[in-house]
Amino acid sequence: MEEIWNGVLRAIELIATLNPEVLEITARSLLISFSAVFVAAAIGIPLGALIELREFGGKKALVNLIQTLYGLPTVTVGLLVFLILSRSGPLGNLELLYTPTGMVIGQMILVSPILIGLTISALKGVSPQIRDTAVSLGADESQLIRAIIKEARFAVIAAVLIGFGRALSEVGVAMMIGGNIRDYTRVLTTSIALQTSMGNLEMSMALGIILIGISMILNLSLSRFQGR
């Protein structure tokens, strides 16, 4: 129990004194996960809209598959991307293993199903009348997609934030692809794992509290946003 309380105090101390290492690790975590979610959203949201709008054979199976992949084990994604980016893998010559870019790719794969799937769910909620109106006003497919995404924007933004939360809190990809290299690929979650293995339980707890704090700020901003 002592560690939890001391961890809280340590977390406050680290934040209050603007501990440079913690700030750097936190900034790196945010930047990598933000990049991953940005790319995943840029692809996943339009893709989700297309899947929702178009009718085609096997659509139900595809949606089922996407939803199943919400729970993709992070270590499995890490292993998959590792094998692809490894020196002896197909993209080995790009030298992306143990780099922040490699981590972005891994996290992007991890959160893409969530973004695609939750976009599909979000757009399902848009009243068919709005679709019909848009089409009757002569909207082509891309205009229609934009119109219904705009209509379901709160749910879509929620999807993005959920994806961001997953990317920020995962450790499998970050560890296997990033390699937890200090000053380069070390992020909050891999630091937590490292501090725990070192037996520095208070420091580990403090970093965990910082991570929870970030998630809380994200959620608060989401609910404010939705409240409007």
Q: Which residues bind another protein (CB under 8 A)?
A: 86-87, 97-98, 175-176, 179-183, 186, 190-191, 194, 196-201
Length of the chain: 228
In the bound state with another protein, the residue whose beta carbon lies nearer, of 10 and 186, is 186
d(CA 61, CA 42): 23
Provide the minimum distance between the beta carbon of 23 and another protein in the complex, in angstroms, as a whole number.
Answer: 17
Provide the minimum distance between the beta carbon of 11 and another protein in the complex, in angstroms, as a whole number.
Answer: 19
Sign, CA dihedral 119-124-125-128, equals positive
Report whether 225 contacts 157 (CB < 8 A): yes
d(CA 8, CA 210): 9
Give the contacts of 67 (CB within 8 A, at least 6 positions apart): 113, 117
Provide the minimum distance between the beta carbon of 49 and another protein in the complex, in angstroms, as a whole number.
Answer: 39
In the bound state with another protein, the residue whose beta carbon lies nearer, of 31 and 181, is 181
In the bound state with another protein, the residue whose beta carbon lies nearer, of 36 and 175, is 175
Query: Which H/E stretch holds residue 79?
Result: helix 74-85
Provide the minimum distance between the beta carbon of 207 and another protein in the complex, in angstroms, as a whole number.
Answer: 13
Provide the minimum distance between the beta carbon of 179 and another protein in the complex, in angstroms, as a whole number.
Answer: 5
Tell me which residue of 156, 137, 147, 138 sits closest to 53, measured CA to CA: 147
